[in-house]
Structure 1
Amino acid sequence: MKYQKRKPALILLADGTIFHGKAVAGKEGSAFGEVCFNTGMTGYQEIFTDPSYYGQLMVTTNAHIGNYGANNEDVESDSVKISGLICRNFSYHHSRPAADESLESFLNKNNLLAISDVDTRALVSYIRDNGAMNAVITTEIDKLDDLKKQLADVPDMKGLELASKVSVKEPYFYGDENATYKISALDIGIKTNILKNLAKRDCYVKVFPYNATYEELAAFNPDGYFISNGPGDPEPLEGAIALTKKVMEKGDPLFGICLGHQVLALANGISTYKMHHGHRGINHPILNLMTGKGEITSQNHGFAINREEAEANPNIEITHLHLNDKTAAGIKVKDKPVFSVQYHPEASPGPHDAWYLFDEFISHIKNHKLQTA
């Protein structure tokens, strides 16, 4: 049985703390990255393929991972983006009729190192108390001294530009070319389900690389602009910030999600900061300040915008608040069709409370077309 052949493994945190486990599927080696956790009870395949998780070691808090296998439709990009997986119980057998393969097979095809039999409750509690930090997961348990040296050389997420690692290299199109609306999307880590939601709303999307210029996006003659989610620190994304400023100057509709939200804030002189351990899960409560309604949302971010600076900015209005820690979860530019949110309205699987934001984007586009006709 595979359960008897798995090699001992461990997690070594940057502060020297060690948690023990076993290798999944007999895969050996080491994987480095920032350790973080996601509280979602479902959606592990979407998490693993989300470009926003690039370079991170994922701790899943649900006790069972792999129990419903893997499906070709449940991906958010063309490959696994996490650096490694840490879980409690790994299921080698699945019971989902719609599954195309086991999760073990899916991870092996993506050459991902995973370890199970970890006390994930203790590990998550440690991260919550001490903050997200770099770590290594490894089966090379006899090489700890060397691994400690390698771990010390892993760059901190603060100041790290990662959009270039996950962005498309050449522009491509998504949707029906005869659709009513044309959207220029800047890919700094875009999720497939965002494109699906835009296409459902009669949009034809041209997706551009992270370093595309405003002139390149504008040449598509779009009805609106979109700035995607993505990994890493938003501050190094000078090109995306400059592009966003030009869109605002023109007064065209713009929608930003997650990293795109942070880019919009920076384009308006609002700073960002690295959070203690971030928001990652599908049950985060949000208050819409415009309607007074609550939303349950999917979130995945380790950086946030400065709420005090947003409140003091005469051109910005905060539209959404995270109810757990009161961070600014949504902003809009006054008197312009420009807005963004820190969470994921395209969540799949996950809550659908925020789908309306795509409809708001389309409404901005319709109104702008009428005003400029």
Structure 2
Amino acid sequence: MSSSPTSQPALLVLADGLVLRGEAFGAKATALGEVVFNTGMTGYQEVMTDPSYAGQLVTFTYPELGNTGVNSSDQEADAPHVRGVIARQLAPRESNWRSEGSLEAWLQHHSVVGISGIDTRSLVRHLREGGAMNGAISTDGTTPQQLLEQVRAMPSMAGLNLAKEVSTPEPYSWTSLCPASFDQRLQDNPATPYRVVAIDFGIKRAILERLVAHGCDVTVLPADATPEQVLERQPEGVFLSNGPGDPSAVSSGIDLAKALVAHENLPLFGICLGHQILGLALGGTTFKLGYGHRGLNHPCGTTGVVEITSQNHGFALDADSLPADQMEVTHLNLNDRTVAAFAHRQKPIFGVQYHPEASPGPHDADHHFGRFAALMSERRG
């Protein structure tokens, strides 16, 4: 694609040697990460600020980014967590009543590198055939050979504990909904809120808001919280959050989950990475998917009732590894039959691989938050 007089060249280099040339936007720098793709048609700001995308260069299959600008209400964290953005086209002007600025200016402010003018359909086909792989985006003049050497020296995502890098350093409370939200989906709440401790492996704000909407008073603890630190807060339920990286590498989270599983009849609920950590604590194993599930329209179910779900993960639980006497697979991803949700047969414990808070995405699975609240209500008696 030819550059306009004001555009700057950019390079995308993959570990298998593929070199693509495009135009730079965002920060002027080189960014290294795992190259993945997201098939959603909306929600680019939520994707970029989702801590689960830490360490990744995200290819957006929707052909244009930036047409609705950015705003403070759609952020899942204070700043973007993606290392780089790959797009077919960047909108020359944003236009939306909620916009507070342009995507490009926002990425520049947060030092995120972007490349446009890429045939993203061809790139996605390449990643589907070869799998998600390490790569680099450069907008600062680094040569393809230099980039390839840097990329091939990078560690694989497998084995990386990135949760500790994105987790909160200090505990904090979350008791309110976003005041600017126009989609609060309020529920019937108890007179006294449920005391919930959420373990932050990379938690999204939308999850915290859905917990509050379902009647929870949430205290968020760091990823390395100990069982004693959790239990001293006398929780009525514990939530294990989403997050980036390899779940099997989050040893402190797995140890915590094991201790909580053994503690009385405490309701436990995990989403995405938290779901995988719960599965590992209960005796299962995980594996890396070829190119992951990242999008807004993944069908999940088992009994004839299908939920269209929002997903973002590169690892999954191995169904054959789950102890059948303790765990029931309640939902499968209907595209590839991987584990989408499970429940403990004797205890109030369940995990969901997808994102019931949506943000972005459909609301089909919001009832899982109500399920967590119901378990806490039953425990109260």
Q: TM-score, normalised by structure 1?
A: 0.95
What's 1:295 paired with? 307
What's 1:281 paired with? 295
What's 1:59 paired with? 59
Segments of 4+ moved more than 4 angstroms: none
The alpha-carbon distance between structure 1 residues 252 and 31, as it changes in their structure 2 partners (threshold 3 A), is same
The alpha-carbon distance between structure 1 residues 314 and 68, as it changes in their structure 2 partners (threshold 3 A), is same
C-alpha contact 1:280 1:299 (8 A) present in aligned 2: yes
What's 2:249 paired with? 236
What's 1:93 paired with? 93
**Residue pairs, 1:257-336, within 5 angstroms:** 257-289=271-303, 292-310=304-322, 312-336=323-347
**Residue pairs, 1:249-260, within 5 angstroms:** 249-250=262-263, 251-260=265-274
SS of residue in 2 equivalent to 1:24 = strand
What's 2:22 paired with? 21
SS of residue in 2 equivalent to 1:262 = helix
SS of residue in 2 equivalent to 1:73 = helix
What's 2:181 paired with? none
Percent sequence identity over matched residues?
Answer: 45
The alpha-carbon distance between structure 1 residues 198 and 3, as it changes in their structure 2 partners (threshold 3 A), is farther
What's 2:232 paired with? 219
- Aligned mates of 1:40, 1:91 — CA distance in 2: 17
**Residue pairs, 1:1-373, within 5 angstroms:** 3-24=4-25, 27-141=27-141, 143-175=143-175, 179-250=192-263, 251-289=265-303, 292-310=304-322, 312-370=323-381
SS of residue in 2 equivalent to 1:235 = helix
Unmatched runs of 5 consecutive residues or more in structure 1: none
- Aligned mates of 2:113, 2:92 — CA distance in 1: 15
Q: Which moved more, 1:101-110 or 1:42-51?
A: 101-110
RMSD over equivalenced CA pairs, Å: 1.4
C-alpha contact 2:51 2:81 (8 A) present in aligned 1: yes
Residue 343 of structure 1, CA deviation: 0.2
Residue 179 of structure 1, CA deviation: 4.9
Unmatched runs of 5 consecutive residues or more in structure 2: 177-190
Post-superposition Cα deviations, 1:243-271, rounded to whole Å, max 9, x if no partner, equal 11121112200100000010011001110
- Aligned mates of 1:338, 1:309 — CA distance in 2: 18
Residue 19 of structure 1, CA deviation: 1.4
Instruction: Give the AA of the match of 1:356.
Output: H
C-alpha contact 2:215 2:373 (8 A) present in aligned 1: no
C-alpha contact 1:158 1:274 (8 A) present in aligned 2: yes
SS of residue in 2 equivalent to 1:184 = strand
- Aligned mates of 2:172, 2:155 — CA distance in 1: 32
- Aligned mates of 1:59, 1:317 — CA distance in 2: 35
- Aligned mates of 1:145, 1:115 — CA distance in 2: 18
- Aligned mates of 1:40, 1:341 — CA distance in 2: 20
Q: Which moved more, 1:92-101 or 1:322-331?
A: 92-101
SS of residue in 1 equivalent to 2:195 = strand
Post-superposition Cα deviations, 1:120-172, rounded to whole Å, max 9, x if no partner, equal 01100000011000000112455222222221221110000100110000000
SS of residue in 2 equivalent to 1:293 = coil
- Aligned mates of 1:92, 1:299 — CA distance in 2: 29
Residue 108 of structure 1, CA deviation: 1.3
C-alpha contact 1:76 1:191 (8 A) present in aligned 2: yes
The alpha-carbon distance between structure 1 residues 145 and 110, as it changes in their structure 2 partners (threshold 3 A), is same
C-alpha contact 2:206 2:359 (8 A) present in aligned 1: yes
Q: TM-score, normalised by structure 2?
A: 0.93
C-alpha contact 1:187 1:210 (8 A) present in aligned 2: yes
- Aligned mates of 2:97, 2:105 — CA distance in 1: 16
C-alpha contact 1:282 1:299 (8 A) present in aligned 2: yes
Q: Which moved more, 1:272-281 or 1:102-111?
A: 102-111
C-alpha contact 1:61 1:121 (8 A) present in aligned 2: yes
The alpha-carbon distance between structure 1 residues 222 and 3, as it changes in their structure 2 partners (threshold 3 A), is farther
- Aligned mates of 1:204, 1:3 — CA distance in 2: 53
The alpha-carbon distance between structure 1 residues 179 and 52, as it changes in their structure 2 partners (threshold 3 A), is farther
- Aligned mates of 2:86, 2:145 — CA distance in 1: 22
SS of residue in 1 equivalent to 2:331 = strand
- Aligned mates of 1:110, 1:3 — CA distance in 2: 25
* Number of corresponding residues: 364
